Structure 1
């Protein structure tokens, strides 16, 4: 039995280092050299752990969603507008100081990504939507909670994408404040 070189990295560590690179450059504009530089793992090590760049992207996207803590945040008791506000603020800087949200950024490239990327994002959105509905139902609203949850998710996505242009966090916080005032009035 042949013995290969011992692995000097963890899969999770590689994904955590790859996420900011994919986040900043997108899937298409991230090169293998970028990933090697960010992770400290050479090409053969990356290919031994992940089939290809696509596999690393998909694994990183799944890892990001699993470790984001967003569903735990939305499930915090008591349910209500405070959780919705935390969710929206999460869209300003979701992970390790990056602007916006990696899964929202990934949605911009779904046309060139494999179907699995769409499934990962869609699957992650279901519990978020369900929890937003629960939080909104805990408050007194005259509008349908599911419609308001959809509105909040659309606002979150737009806010996350807009963070690529905005350098002032206060601007995003002000938009969230106004949006929540509108939501509470509905």
Structure 2
């Protein structure tokens, strides 16, 4: 007979959502274990048992962010034209980084930019996350070149980097308090110069 463990006394999905919001607001290093467990409504022992250490919890929170607030990137690359991809990506960045009642800015940008040595794993995780997003756009823009939607000779890698840089710049400005309308205006202004490279 197999021993049955005690049932978990909390909703793991809600706890992970709470952890994601703490990391989003405070960054990796700024989020103490007390902040995390307090927001999650669990003990440190329960956190370690359910999610692993802080780095593992951060990875899971970032995955949740990717599947939730940052999922606009995956929806953007499904748009029929490269310009619509860029527009959907930039508008998604504006909307995600300025959600009413939510943290301003982007977890993927702010999570570890201003952090000490103990946050090195988070810095590496987020750099890879940002690079994955850039490669996603690059692949889509290469397809647009192949299909004739973008001019032959368009540098898809450079275009992806430009779109990502504008998107992440929007996130930084949102974290600084710039409002949604102004940030959407920036995205719209950038797109008037399409294809940007």
Distance 1:164-1:35 versus aligned 2 partners, 3 A rule: same
2:194 matched residue in structure 1: 183
Shift of 1:132: 4.5
Segment drifting more, 74-83 vs 48-57:
74-83
SS for the counterpart of 2:140 is helix
Shift of 1:151: 0.8
Structure 2 alignment gaps of length 5 or more: none
What are the superposed Cα offsets for residues 37-87 of structure 1, whole Å, 9 maximum, x if unpaired?
Answer: 211122211111122222211221122223432343123342232221121
1:81 is aligned to 2:92: no
2:120 aligns with one of 107, 113, 134: 113
When normalised by structure 1's length, the TM-score is 0.81
The CA RMSD over aligned residues, in Å, is 2.9
CA distance, structure 1, for counterparts of residue 131 and residue 111 of structure 2: 12
1:27 matched residue in structure 2: 28
CA distance, structure 2, for counterparts of residue 184 and residue 140 of structure 1: 9
Segment drifting more, 31-40 vs 2-11:
2-11
Question: When the two structures are aligned, how many residues end up with a matched partner?
Answer: 186
Distance 1:99-1:17 versus aligned 2 partners, 3 A rule: same
2:136 matched residue in structure 1: 127
Q: Following superposition of structure 1 onto structure 2, how do residues 38-49 of structure 1 map, counting pairs within 5 Å? A: 38-49=39-50
1:157 matched residue in structure 2: 168
Structure 1 alignment gaps of length 5 or more: none
SS for the counterpart of 2:194 is helix
SS for the counterpart of 1:113 is helix
1:12 is aligned to 2:19: no
1:50 is aligned to 2:35: no
When normalised by structure 2's length, the TM-score is 0.77
Which ranges of 4 or more aligned residues in structure 1 deviate by more than 6 Å?
Answer: none
1:101 matched residue in structure 2: 106
